Structure 1
Amino acid sequence: MSTTYSTTPPTPTTEVQTASTPQLARIRARGTWTGRLGTDIAIRKFGFATAEPVAVGGDDSAPTPMDYVVGSFLGCIAVVVELVANEWDVTIGSLELEAIGTLDRRGFAGTADVSPHFQSLTGTADVESDADAETFRAIIADVERRCPAFNLFRDAGVTPAITWILGGRVLA
C-alpha cells in the first residue's frame, strides 16, 4: 500500500491560521555589558552570553552575536519545518541543518562603505521523511514563506540559499 500526498496545503483550521487581525508577539531581552566586548543576555527564564574573539579585543568566552544569528536561523527553520510538516500530516524522521553566514568585516570595523550585515547565507538541510519529493518541495515553499528568520534575511536583501536533501537526494 502506498501513501499519496496532495501538493495543495491543508485548509487552515485554527483561528490563528485564518485570523485577519494582527496577533503580535513581543520578545523582550535584557543585556548587561560584562566588559571586553561581552554581554550577558536574559530572555524569559533563559540566559546566555555573547563575546568576541581575542583577535578583536574580546575574551572568546561565548559565541559572537552574529554566531547566534546563524544558529537562530537554523533553529527557526527547524521549528517551521516541524510545524508545516505536521500540518501536512508528514513525518520528519530526522533533520540535520548547517549554515554559513558570510559578512564583510570592513562594514563592522567602519573601514569601508559596505553593509555590516551578512552578505550571504548558504547551507544545507538534510531531511529524512515519509514525504515524496514533490510534496516536500511544497513544504519547503511554505517554510520559506512562513519562517521569520528566513524572511528577516530576505527582507535585508540576503536570500538564504539552502540546499535541501530529502532521503539522500538533493531536491532541485
Structure 2
Amino acid sequence: MPTETITIATDAGHELTGSLEMPTGLVRGAALFAHCFTCTKQSRAAVSVARALSREGIACLRFDFTGLGGSEGDFGRAGFATDVADLVAAAEDLLRRFAQPVLMVGHSLGGAAVLAAADDLGFDKVAAIATIGAPSDVPHVLARIEGDIDAIREQGEGPVTIGGRDFSLSREFIERVEATDLLEEVGKLRCPLLFLHSPTDDIVGIENASALFGAARHPKSFVSLEGADHLLLDHQSAEFAAGMIAAWAKRYLPLRDDWPLPEEGIVAKTGHGKFGTEVHTSNHSFVADEPRSYGGDDSGPTPYDLLNAALGTCTAMTMKMYADRKGWPLEGVTVEVTHERNHADRCDHAEAMAEGTKMQALNRRIAVHGDALDADQRRRIIEIADKCPVHRTLEGELHVHTESTD
C-alpha cells in the first residue's frame, strides 16, 4: 500500500510525525491509530492494523506521540492529557482531508487515549472506536515505571526507566496520569466500541477489558486475543487483531454514495500509488495493480492476470456446465493460463501475419479430475473448452470503441 509521510501541528507549538497508509484503490473512510506507552508508530501492532485497514479501503494514520519517535516535544512533561490532545490534533487533520467521521484505534495506553479523546473531539466526528489491551485505570501505567515516583512528586522532576529506556519525568506527567477517570469517560461515549484483549496478558490483565466493557454502552463488542502477548509481538496475533478490527470497522464506514456501481460492465478508477486501480462491477469491487518490480505496490492482480483469469474461469465454468448437463462424473478441472508476448519467436505460422504485427498468445493447460470418467468423456470435456464464451470473444473479431465522457 502507498504510504505518505505527514506532519501534524499541535496547539503546544510542536509537530508530530505520522505515516498515512493509503488504500491502493478508492477510500471508504479514515482511521487513526494510537500506539502503546513509549512505543512508536513503527510498532508491530501499529503497522499491522494500519495496513490491514488500508487493504479494506480505509486510510489509516499512525503517528508518534509528543516526544517519541520522530515527533517533537518533551515526553517527560507531556503525560496522558497531552496524548489525548495529540490525538485530537491528528483526528482533525484526517477530518479536514476526508470530510467524514474517523475510526479511532488504540493499543494499550493508546487505547485508553482514544477512549478519552472521543469526548474532546466530538462524538459526531467519531465513526467507531477499537482498543487492543487497553487499561481501564490510566494510573496503571505508573506501575510500569522504574524510578522514585514519590521523589518526583516532591522535587518536580527525576530520572526513570520505562521499557528499558531512560527518561526524565516531571511531576506534571504524573499528575496528568492520575487525574484521569477512564471508566467515567467510557460511560459517556456514544459510538460503537470494540475491545480486544488477551486473557493471558501479563501487563494489562483481562479484568481491565471486563471493566471497560461493563462501563460501555451498546453497541459494544469483545474479541479475545487468545495466546497473544500484550505488545502483539507475534506476527500471527498482530495480523489476527488487525483483521478483526478491519472486518468490524467496515460496518461503520460504509461504501460511499459516489462510488461507481455500474449496471453493466465494469468501471475502473485510478486509486493511489503508481498503478493502483479500483475495479467495480454491479456487485463487486477489487483492486488491480502492478508488481513491485514494475514500480507498483503488488496489492492486486495485474491487468494481464485479469485477462488470464477471464479465460481460465470461463473455461472452467463451461467445462463443468457441459459435464453437469451430460450427467458425467466430473469432479472438477484445473486450468492454468499464461500470457506470451512474443509468440512469433516459437511458432511456425508467423509468416502469415502482416508485417509489423506482434503475435501474442494465451497458453492454456487443463487437468480434468474424475477417476470415473472414461477416455471419450475426458476428450469431449477438453474439446468443449474451446467453446467457452471468453475464448470465442478473444479469437473472434473484437473491436474496442473509445469515447470521451468529459
Q: Normalised by the shorter chain, which TM-score bucket?
A: 0.5 to 0.7
Distance in 2 of aligned mates of 1:50 and 1:156: 27
Question: 1:69 is matched with which residue?
Answer: 307
Cα offset, 1:136, TM superposition: 2.6
Aligned: 1:90 with 2:328: yes
> CA offsets, 1:80-133, max 9 Å, x none?
0110001111121132221211125xxxxxxxx554xx7112232111233311
Which stretch of the first structure deviates more once superposed, 69-78 or 132-141?
Answer: 132-141
Distance in 1 of aligned mates of 2:294 and 2:357: 19
Aligned: 1:38 with 2:276: yes
Distance in 1 of aligned mates of 2:379 and 2:297: 43
> CA offsets, 1:138-167, max 9 Å, x none?
23333322x01222232269xxxxxxxxxx
SS at match of 1:127: strand
Q: TM-score with structure 1 length normalisation? A: 0.60
Question: 1:135 is matched with which residue?
Answer: 377
Instruction: Structure 1: give runs of 5+ residues left out of the alignment.
Output: 1-25, 105-112, 158-172
Question: 1:49 is matched with which residue?
Answer: 287
Q: Is the 8 Å Cα contact of residues 84 and 143 (structure 1) preserved in structure 2?
A: no
Instruction: Structure 2: give runs of 5+ residues left out of the alignment.
Output: 1-262, 343-355, 399-406
Question: 1:58 is matched with which residue?
Answer: 296
**How has the CA–CA distance of structure 1 residues 48 and 84 changed in structure 2, closer, same or farther, with 3 Å as cutoff?**
same
Partner letter of residue 367 of structure 2?
D
Distance in 2 of aligned mates of 1:97 and 1:143: 10
1:81-160 superposed matches below 5 A:
81-104=319-342, 113-115=356-358, 119-129=360-370, 130-145=372-387, 147-155=388-396
Partner letter of residue 30 of structure 1?
V
Find runs of 4+ consecutive structure 1 residues off by over 4 angstroms.
Answer: none
Distance in 1 of aligned mates of 2:298 and 2:369: 36
Q: Is the 8 Å Cα contact of residues 28 and 43 (structure 1) preserved in structure 2?
A: yes
Partner letter of residue 267 of structure 2?
R
SS at match of 2:271: strand
Partner letter of residue 286 of structure 2?
F
Pairwise CA RMSD: 2.4
Which stretch of the first structure deviates more once superposed, 89-98 or 50-59?
Answer: 50-59
Partner letter of residue 150 of structure 1?
H
Q: Is the 8 Å Cα contact of residues 320 and 332 (structure 2) preserved in structure 1?
A: no
Q: Higher strand share goes to which structure?
A: 1
